[in-house]
Amino acid sequence: MAKIKKKGTSGQAKNYITRTQAVRKLQISLPDFRRLCIFKGIYPREPRSKKKASKTSTPNTTFYYTKDIQYLLHEPLLNKFRDQKALAKKIARSLGRGEVSDAARLEKNHAPKLTLDHVIKERYPTFVDALRDLDDALSLLFLFATLPSDTHVPPKTIALCQRLCHEFQHYLITTNSLRKSFLSIKGIYYQATIQGQDVMWLVPYRFVQRVNADVDYRIMATFVQFYTTLLGFVNYRLYSAIGLRYPPKFDTRSDENGAELAAFTLEGRTVGATPKALEAPKAQSNGNSTKEVSRETQAKVDKVIKNAGLDQTKDEQPVESTEETSDSIDRFEPAAPEADTLPQPDLSSGETGSMFAPFTFYISREAPKAPLEFLLRAFGCKRIGWDAVLGDGAFTHDETDPRITHQIVDRPQLPEGSLPAVPAAAEDDATPKVKPGTWIPGRTYVQPQWVWDCLNDGKLLRADLYAPGATLPPHLSPWVKAARGAYDPRASLAAQEEEGEAEIAAEDGDSDEEMEDEAAVEEKVPADESEEDSVDSGMDVAGTDDDEEESASDAEEEDEDFGGFEENEAASESEDDDEAARTQHQRELEAEAAGLPFSSNGATDEATKKKSSQSKKMAAKKRQEEEELERQKMMMSRKKRKLLEKMMYSNKKQSDEAAKLRSKRRKIEKGAKE
């Protein structure tokens, strides 16, 4: 006889453990358990059957893997949590006795410090793993960098997030790693390519943030603590890879004056090759410029390296090649016309990184300085100026500087009479003032969207389309590609319309206008004429016996004269033409009686006939396609027919949405022309 298994020793009951059991097993509090799980990357799991996984009669909602909890038993952070709990008891005892100085001493000198270095090494064995998990880290740290300081978010945390984010931005500027950006309702999306990995994050707009009370800031602070450690490691590795010293020099006074990116000074072996825009201006550097190494010291260092056998210049001799080198990008053309289009390589960082290098920009006060400065510097601009109220670190604060080639303005051009007078400048202020709305000759004025669209397209766009006060082109997401059959705002309307769609839309528009004209005619027709029409219509409706006999005889004659579908269709077309002519004549008479203008020539009749014939041809063609499709579906199996119907439903839904958007655009363009 087989041995009876004991309940709860195998299966889901053994593989899963409830949260209450896990907390009791680890002997820590529930908040500490949450922090530990966030640090270690352990999340709740959903078993197939909660009834089988639960060892109690009451159903539990939160389960974890038993192996994960067993793994946490040997975590060094558990001892830190217990030390913090013991210290909290000592501080509470000292405060209960009134020994405030002892409590302050314990909190200052004996507080255990948590270090997450070993956790980072465990969760990210390789540097590529850390880069792949950098999206959420950057989004959260950029969010906390814009929050106001209060009891939930201390100022030290905000300052740390700001410093780490600026250091990461400096790396992107130095290596020209930024690729795309998009302005959305949530914030500004950025995408960069770092060592072959695409990293995307979201930066909120710099508005006044309202701190809600329904957010659990303890959990958010736990993530921030982990992500700051992660980003610090990543920044150190990235800076070391390109030969820069980490951390870079940071000028606190310049940062307090709003310098932001310009408050950092990069040092290292490749600092000479970095753009000068990364370095703080000499007038505002306050003596924190990089010290140049003397030639004698450099010669001694080179001699020591040569004697030690560490000189690698011998192995780095350039290899002569007989092939001709070309800087152009190779294009992969398909071998056959029906073959798939091969993906083309993107522009190199050298080509896109120097897009704004020849220009000098000036950012007006109303434009967002922080994102514009970051984007311009990331794409090669070395000289950027702005008003003094926006902070330090500008190339120039003088708006009338003749070296400025482009000025970013986010306000429409106002008439001359509505502009305010320029205030009298102070005696100690040597910067000349420019009257608001004044355009300086020889300078290109653009709106901020021009910068985003240029870097997304990888080329400089026409500046006149983005002039102040002009209607801007649609700002589309660079990551959404136009699908086949979907509406594309960038393409022209004629290139997206289906066959005969424009004629049908024009006919519908004409019919709507005619209905409006008829309504106007009916309003202006006198009451006597309307009564006469009603009487006549009543006399026509009331038929006699003679009329019934005549109609019966006419029906018999039609049956006798029936000569096939073609003759019947021709007769119906002629009757339709006669009816259209009579209707047009009646409308002209009504318009003449009402005193409205009308066209007496037959051009409109020909146009209406042509439109009606085109619409009939389109309807006949569509009917033939539907009949052919129905015949093909009859030959399919049920499974394939259902799959085809689903595909047709989704395609029809997409085409209907595209047609609706095209109709909306057609009306907008028509209204703009009028």
Read off the CATH number of the domain in which 393 is found.
3.40.50.10190
CB 131 within 8 A of CB 94: no
Are 66 and 132 within one domain?
A: no
Region for residue 287 given its phi and psi (left: phi exceeds 0; alpha: psi -120 to 50; beta: otherwise): left
Q: Where is the domain boundary, 216, 242, 268?
A: 242
Sole residue written with tokens 């659990």: 216
Q: Is residue 125 part of a domain?
A: yes
Sign of CA dihedral 203, 204, 205, 209: negative
CB 423 within 8 A of CB 431: no
d(CA 272, CA 277): 12
Domain that holds residue 73: 12-109
Task: Name the residue among 290, 287, 291 with its Cα closest to residue 278.
Answer: 290
Are 237 and 168 within one domain?
A: yes
Collapse the DSSP code of 563 into the 3-class scheme (helix H, G, I; strand E, B; otherwise coil) and give the result. coil
Sole residue written with tokens 């303890």: 218
pLDDT along the chain (674 residues), means of 10: 74 87 92 94 89 74 90 91 91 91 89 90 94 95 92 91 95 94 95 94 89 85 95 95 92 89 85 44 39 52 54 40 43 60 52 84 93 94 91 89 92 67 54 71 92 92 91 88 75 71 65 57 50 44 48 49 47 62 75 62 59 74 85 88 88 84 80 70
Q: Is residue 618 part of a domain?
A: no
DSSP 652-668: HHHHHHHHHHHHHHHHH
With vertex at residue 667, the alpha carbon angle to CA 605 and CA 611, rounded to the nearest 5 degrees, is: 20
Q: Is residue 634 part of a domain?
A: no
Give the pLDDT of residue 504.
67
Q: Is residue 160 part of a domain?
A: yes
Which amino acid makes up residue 248? P
Are 153 and 83 within one domain?
A: no
183's enclosing H/E stretch is strand 178-183
Which letter, b or e, does each residue of 250-266 get, where b requires 16 or more Cβ atoms within 10 Å of its Cβ?
Answer: ebeebbebbbbbbbbbb
Are 78 and 177 within one domain?
A: no
| Helix/strand/coil percentages in the chain, nearest 5 | 55, 5, 40
Sign of CA dihedral 146, 149, 155, 157: negative
Q: Is residue 366 part of a domain?
A: yes
Collapse the DSSP code of 65 into the 3-class scheme (helix H, G, I; strand E, B; otherwise coil) and give the result. strand
Q: Where is the domain boundary, 177, 208, 242?
A: 242
Q: Is residue 237 part of a domain?
A: yes
Are 74 and 146 within one domain?
A: no
Give the pLDDT of residue 492.
73
Are 157 and 96 within one domain?
A: no
CB 265 within 8 A of CB 249: yes
Strands 188-194 and 197-203: antiparallel
Give the pLDDT of residue 516.
58
Q: Is residue 185 part of a domain?
A: yes
Are 370 and 449 within one domain?
A: yes
Q: Is residue 566 part of a domain?
A: no
Strands 383-386 and 360-363: parallel
Are 195 and 75 within one domain?
A: no
Are 122 and 83 within one domain?
A: no
Are 154 and 229 within one domain?
A: yes
d(CA 209, CA 217): 15
Integer-rounded Cα Rg, in Å, for the chain is 38
Sole residue written with tokens 């509406």: 487
Are 237 and 122 within one domain?
A: yes
CA distances from 208 to 156, 205, 255, 352 (A): 19, 9, 20, 34
Give the pLDDT of residue 142.
96
Q: Where is the domain boundary, 178, 209, 242?
A: 242
What's the total number of domains in the chain?
3
Are 86 and 130 within one domain?
A: no
Give the pLDDT of residue 203.
96
In terms of C-beta density within 10 A (0-12 exposed, 13-18 middle, 19 or more buried), how is residue 388 classed? middle
Query: Is the model's pTM score more than 0.85?
Result: no
